[in-house]
Structure 1
């Protein structure tokens, strides 16, 4: 397979898949936001607040970063021409993505707290606590990602990571995308499921309350399953990206020795991973 063929496959994938993602993502996040706003208005719910904020963050991500990728298929993106736009594009995109991840982690923690036997832990699952956590997540994500303003520049003619910060960027990606988020999501989802099973095994309702008790626990169990599904999609779609960054870092010293065919293959694989796989989570959460 020739280099031209591989490059053409990459372009065709972008032209076909990204518009589908934009359509699914905008439609899905619109309805998710609408449903969650109605839920919050009817009865304030901490988990619904986290999911609502996560949906809004995903919406901003796909309508900024994903649109930028699509525009760059046939045009020169402004980020390659203006250093300020280069830095803001990656800083903004990574910050929104981190905010989205943290809201999902908070939702998992919230479900774990709700099912806990400890009254102090259960107190975390309150709307007023959720509003504080949401503010902390937004401010914290902006501060943590401020380092990205130094990592990226377009001094080489393309907006990319400054070689001097390759190690720092790789470490950041592995820690804040590949390790911590999926680990915390899985941990608290498993703990929530365990707590729910403990509650169901201890409660022995009388016949008159049996239907109501099963209904309540089934609803909580369904929410836990929904979170497990979202965590699974996140892990499958997002975790390959940090390892592709690690691979690029390890092979950076031999970049000049790579053949044009190998470069084309790696470019295609990287494009499939980022943006196609990475932004699957943001576009399919509703479904």
Structure 2
């Protein structure tokens, strides 16, 4: 290898410095804002879906489970990415145990959030079906089982992270060689091809059900004997849930696709020679794919708020309850100056 391959010229050095600076600024401020929005939004989403209007809906349960996973991901994964790229905190490259656990939690939590949204789209397909048997699958009891099973499945699937992740060249990553290629392809399928395909398939199937039945959504409810029945009228709640889900799927597709696309590129170019400038650019692009991925999760609450009048109403009801909860303290002070039974005015509280 000649000197032109190992020496960085002044022009490249300046560009590398600028790219690294931009990467640092985006990691500090953009990820910081996303972290704050994500935490607040996830908590508010869980609170709204816990209200009686939504609580017993299977689709709402999937949304809640997804929001809980997002909340944990913001604080176990996004927070450290912000510290690593924005403030040069490199614990993950010095502590092997932390390296393994950080990426294990990241992949498990992101997969849980992603596939709970997919389960919500499958639930809408079952709920819109004319088959009573299929409608039976859209129920809170089944949703709870699926959510638990989903968490267990991904916790087991990503044990490979704990086994095969290592600190290589000051970077926490999958082992080089055959496993590195396998894992990159696996992640590309798991986070890109498979979820998008499932969303498109069940989105089209739901649209077909709606077209055949002439209903926007036909939810299933339970009678006193716990048997699934079809209501005669369209539920406004289910119409609103359908709108929220469609917008969430579109948000997911546009903001989650860049990351698996980059991973595919990395697989096919991992054996190519890359200059220092190219490596710096790829590090920047890689970080940006995670920025938009987290942005998609952080916009969940805003998406629900904009998409659904019912969600907005329930959110405002929650705010109103908080105000009512605080009001008695003010009433006590007012009552302290009320007229006594003897007609005298009391000034004591």
The two structures have a TM-score, normalised by structure 2, of 0.74
Q: Does 1:253 align with 2:271?
A: yes
1:158-178 CA distance string (max 9 Å, x none): 212211321111121121111
Name whichever structure is richer in helix by fraction: 1
- Cα offset, 1:201, TM superposition: 6.2
Corresponding residue for 1:52?
A: 64
1:103-148 CA distance string (max 9 Å, x none): 1111111111011011111000111111111111011111111122
- Cα offset, 1:30, TM superposition: 1.3
Corresponding residue for 1:176?
A: 190
Contact 2:255–2:293, Cα closer than 8 Å, also in 1: yes
Q: Does 1:272 align with 2:284?
A: no
Distance 1:156 1:268 in 2: 18
Q: Which runs of 5+ in 2 are unaligned?
A: 1-13, 217-230, 303-349
Distance 1:135 1:272 in 2: 32
Distance 1:223 1:38 in 2: 14
Q: 1:74/1:193 Cα in 2 relative to 1: closer, same or farther (>3 Å)?
A: same
Corresponding residue for 1:244?
A: 262
Contact 1:192–1:224, Cα closer than 8 Å, also in 2: no
- Cα offset, 1:155, TM superposition: 4.1
Q: Does 1:167 align with 2:181?
A: yes
Distance 1:229 1:79 in 2: 35
Corresponding residue for 1:133?
A: 146
Which of 1 and 2 has greater Rg?
A: 2
2:50 alignment partner, SS class: helix
Greater mean deviation of Cα atoms: 75-84 or 58-67:
75-84
Contact 1:196–1:221, Cα closer than 8 Å, also in 2: no
Q: Runs of 4+ in structure 1 displaced over 6 angstroms?
A: none
What is the CA RMSD across the aligned residues, in angstroms? 2.1
Corresponding residue for 1:62?
A: 74
Distance 2:18 2:242 in 1: 45
Contact 1:114–1:122, Cα closer than 8 Å, also in 2: yes
Distance 2:55 2:143 in 1: 14
Corresponding residue for 1:208?
A: none
1:7-46 → structure 2 map (5 Å cutoff): 7-39=20-52, 43-46=55-58
Distance 1:106 1:84 in 2: 32
Distance 2:52 2:156 in 1: 31
Q: Does 1:153 align with 2:166?
A: yes
Q: Does 1:78 align with 2:96?
A: no
Distance 1:36 1:107 in 2: 14
1:35-67 CA distance string (max 9 Å, x none): 011147x75111111111111001110111010
Contact 1:113–1:122, Cα closer than 8 Å, also in 2: yes
- Cα offset, 1:279, TM superposition: 1.1
Contact 1:151–1:169, Cα closer than 8 Å, also in 2: no
Contact 2:59–2:241, Cα closer than 8 Å, also in 1: no
Distance 2:249 2:131 in 1: 25
Q: 1:195/1:7 Cα in 2 relative to 1: closer, same or farther (>3 Å)?
A: same
Q: Which runs of 5+ in 1 are unaligned?
A: 203-211
Distance 1:17 1:81 in 2: 26
Contact 1:189–1:227, Cα closer than 8 Å, also in 2: no
Corresponding residue for 1:224?
A: 242
1:171-217 CA distance string (max 9 Å, x none): 21121111111111222122223212322269xxxxxxxxx977x26
Greater mean deviation of Cα atoms: 158-167 or 175-184:
158-167
Corresponding residue for 2:308?
A: none
2:87 alignment partner, SS class: coil
Q: 1:3/1:74 Cα in 2 relative to 1: closer, same or farther (>3 Å)?
A: same
Residues matched between the structures, number: 273
